[in-house]
Structure 1
Amino acid sequence: MLCYAYVKKDKQKMKINLIGKKVQMKKKTVIFLTVAVVLFFSIIGYLISSANGISMDIEQPLPKETSAPRSSDAIPDETAKMQVIQVYVTGCVKNPGIYEIEKGQIINDVIDFAGGFTEDANKNINLVYKLYENVTLRVKSKSESHEQSIPSGLEIIHENGVISQSSTPETSQTGGLININTANASQLTALPGIGPSTAAAIVAYREGNGNFQKIEDIMNVSGIKENKFNQIKNYITVN
């Protein structure tokens, strides 16, 4: 861009020859435009020189941290797995099969999962019996004979092979009490809240100390305190 300026009589105005055209401007305007043009080209020159001197560093992505899971993080998962047990329901139910339940759920829940009883099922079962391990529940038929002191409609087959019975408290009272001096471990597990380990402890105590003189003596067995005794006292005898 070619331009030049010269002053006429008016000191406040200047004539500029801008690409062959004469333009009259105020002196202040000409000065401003001149400074602006100089600044413009100065900035362009600086940017060009800066771009030539810049070395671009390509930022390499940092590898993702892969840390081994802490033991504390793994505990909830392991705990969750341990809270679930598997129960194989067979016999006189509508939908026999394997069902997953939470520890502490009762037999009635599992029977519901299996579609309920068939018409031929012996319903003499303690439906509020809580389950804490993988077991097999075999619901018996009405016509099936029983040799236990308390007739039961259900066999609970534990992982260690021990077979226990589960009957209703009402039938336990009318059908006969369990003699804690003569009952074996399998028969003792028919009592509410008595599992295989506690039943074995009762038998071991009896063999080491002799027969129980009264039903309250069963509280001398490890694992049986007043609360558990209150659950079973109406279903046991020493005679």
Structure 2
Amino acid sequence: MEKWKQVIIGVVVVLFLGVGYLFYNKESEERVVDEFVVESEEVVPSETVERLEIVVYVTGAVESPNVYTVPEGARVGDVLSLAVLTDEADPEQLNLAQLLVDGVKIIVPKKGDAPVAQGVQSAELEPNGVHVNSATKDELMSVPGIGPAKADAILNHLKENGPFKSYEDLGNVKGFGEKTLESMKPYLLVP
């Protein structure tokens, strides 16, 4: 066989082996990426990495009232884009930038409905109690010991001072002494 044919065959064999090696290496890297997630220089099997999600219920002036699962860190505006607002909706009454909390019920008001407290989402009565920072007047009045006046006082405090950061902050609301707070503690949820 002529020397130039041997050189061409050698180059083709070397190229074939090189491409095969690169292809094999790329496949093994992809398998490692699929099987493990690297966090803090520690290799952890991907099935042990928890994906954090929260569940919220959206109702009111939306086309698709439903329970939605969204990633932790989602905001009211994010979930409302999934529920699709109707023409009657008044989203200006809601804080679209507010972070969502697991288990919250968001009621989208219609234009002309009574104003919702700024920065507050509506929340339904849950087995563990009412979320003070997101409850409506009716939901607050479902708590034993809270009538219309105390519910209004809570909502006014929320409008003027923002959300409660602890249960003890409720003591700043007019009409809430130590005994009143203690009796309502099992029914009220504060972050």
For the aligned pair, the TM-score class normalised by the smaller chain equals: 0.3 to 0.5
* Structure with more contact order per residue of length (Cα contacts < 8 Å, sep ≥ 6): 2
More strand by share: 1
The structure whose Rg is larger is: 1
More helix by share: 2
Query: TM-score w.r.t. structure 1 length?
Result: 0.38
